[in-house]
Structure 1
Amino acid sequence: MFKWLIIVALVAASYGDPISESRDNKSATLKPLSVCCDIPELGDPKHLAKCSNPKLPGPCNDIQCVFEESGFLTDVNTLNKEAYKNHLKQWEENHAGWSVAVDKAIKDCVDSDPRQHLNYPCKAYDVFTCTGIAMLKKCPAAAWKC
């Protein structure tokens, strides 16, 4: 009996350590956490195309353009909360599994007044960045890729 136990142990050892092998296959990374959640496109392709031709420079201008084209702003500094909330709810209907993330985005980014602290104020950037962070925090397991 003892011989068989030794033989089984030797055979198992010859196949390696599956725990350390799986760890070896994943390298440490300093990539932003946002690359780990595969959030589907939030924008309307028509508005994205219009604001990309040519792509506007800076962190605010292209997002500002998309928000204006989408009707998400009542003026340059004011979010049209109902329009943006309705957009997120419609998006949620087309993307199963994202309801918790959308609810968090509405609570954190529509029902409150987020500020992302660029060097100059940009309501579209503030709301969009807040939305991305909220979605990342509640990323469904099926969309997690890290």
Structure 2
Amino acid sequence: MFKYFIYCVFIVSTCHADLLSQKENKGATLKPLSVCCDIPELGDPKFLAKCSNPKLPGPCNDVQCVFEESGFLTDRNTLNKEAYKAHLRKWEEDNKGWTVAVDKAIADCVDNEPRQHLDVPCKAYDVFTCTGIAMLKKCPEAAWKC
């Protein structure tokens, strides 16, 4: 999962640079929508660093580590809903304009039981991916880059 995260950061960075060069010409694009919404970092840098050094193997372990370190899980397969909601609300306070996106993330990803169908069952991945999709769906116009 961390490889996927790094890959996404690379793609977003690359596409962001490409988008900046195309500001005058906003032509059609087939880039993934995820590059179009500039979602601020959702994780605590301290936990992101701890779970990145060394890089944990497997498709889920890095996200699982961040969720465990952040207190978002009560056990490997159970979301600590109150802790994750509180984190999203605090994030919203620090990132003005994202209220609708945070509300959607809470409704879709906390109040429901999302399943993203990773080959390996992983509650952290399910919730994290769901959150990203919800944020993308309700991306504020000010953060929209395409």
> Could you state the TM-score of these two structures normalised by the residue count of structure 2?
0.81
- Listed as ranges, the matches of 1:14-93 within 5 Å are 25-93=25-93
Question: How many residues are aligned here?
Answer: 124
How far residue 54 of structure 1 moved from its aligned partner, in angstroms, is 1.4
> Could you state the TM-score of these two structures normalised by the residue count of structure 1?
0.81
* Residues in 1 aligned to 2:119 and 2:53: alpha-carbon distance in whole angstroms: 25
Unpaired segments of 5 or more residues in structure 2?
A: 1-21
Give SS of 1:145's match: coil
How far residue 112 of structure 1 moved from its aligned partner, in angstroms, is 0.3
* Residues in 2 aligned to 1:137 and 1:50: alpha-carbon distance in whole angstroms: 30
* Residues in 1 aligned to 2:32 and 2:56: alpha-carbon distance in whole angstroms: 24
* Residues in 2 aligned to 1:58 and 1:117: alpha-carbon distance in whole angstroms: 15
How far residue 28 of structure 1 moved from its aligned partner, in angstroms, is 3.3
The code of the aligned residue for 2:57 comes to P
Question: RMSD of the TM alignment (CA)?
Answer: 1.5
Unpaired segments of 5 or more residues in structure 1?
A: 1-21
* Residues in 1 aligned to 2:135 and 2:57: alpha-carbon distance in whole angstroms: 25
Q: Name 1:94's counterpart in structure 2.
A: 94
How far residue 26 of structure 1 moved from its aligned partner, in angstroms, is 3.1
Give aligned-pair identity as a percent.
85
Q: Name 2:109's counterpart in structure 1.
A: 109
How far residue 56 of structure 1 moved from its aligned partner, in angstroms, is 1.8
